[in-house]
Amino acid sequence: MWSWEAFFSFLHNPQLIEGAWTTVWLTVVSMALGLPLAVLVAVGRASSFAPARLVTGFYVWLMRGTPLLVQLVIIYTGLPQLGLRLGVISAALTGLVLNEAAYLSEIVRAGVLSVPRGQSEAARALGMSPWRVFRVVVIPQALRVMVPPLGNSFNGLLKTTTLVSVISVEELLRRTQFAVQVNFRVLEGLTAAALYYLALTTLWGFVQKWLETRVGRGHEPRQSAKRGRGAAGPGSAAAVAARELEMDNR
């Protein structure tokens, strides 16, 4: 029979609270390390240098084509046979970062490709350097496309961290399994863990909504009777480039 007493004891169990904290920082660190790697991979895939395209393309194909669980087991138990031994946390982070970066790279690449080529050409025609074009013109517009799928990836990563319990990382699921062994209340324990995951993903949903609103602020289409058809608005590449050059000349 269901025991409410056992269920509430699991909710306040220090082991589950510590496991939830481990889940959160594993997710944050994996995303923080995976995103820069994803940018490098996306740049490599869009590069005109053929070896860079081949290497990054093979990496994405391999990471996306094999299960994360298999990758974690290979990193933790297979690499020592080659003389490379990683600790539990190091192996978990390595697997999560490498796997997540492969998926994030496609999001970054899609976001950059969503910016019309004419935006970059207009900015370069006004004298902006390629790096400034990328930083000032491309990235702000690409972020509006990238933030929603990046937020969804973070949400998914919160739940994907359960897989690292296989290599003995004491995150939320493994801590729950330890707690269940005390009184064998499996249903109550797993339900409490599910509520922890639900709370974490719900909180992240509010953060993601705030990020999407902030990134999209100032980019809503505006209509003005004074603006002629086809005129450059304040958010266009030409206007942005002109403001940047004007600030440099002051």
Kindly report, residue by residue over 35-92, the tens digit of the pLDDT: 999 999 998 998 888 999 999 999 999 999 999 999 999 999 999 999 999 999 999 9
On the question of pLDDT at 143 being above 90, the answer is no
Domains of the chain with CATH codes: 7-216+233-249 (1.10.3720.10)
173's CB contacts (< 8 A; 6+ apart) are: 19, 162, 165, 193
- State pTM to two decimals: 0.82
CA–CA distance, 218 with 166 (Å, rounded to integer): 46
| The residue count for the chain | 250
Nearest-Å Rg of the Cα atoms of the chain is: 23
Kindly report, residue by residue over 87-106, the tens digit of the pLDDT: 999 999 999 999 999 999 99
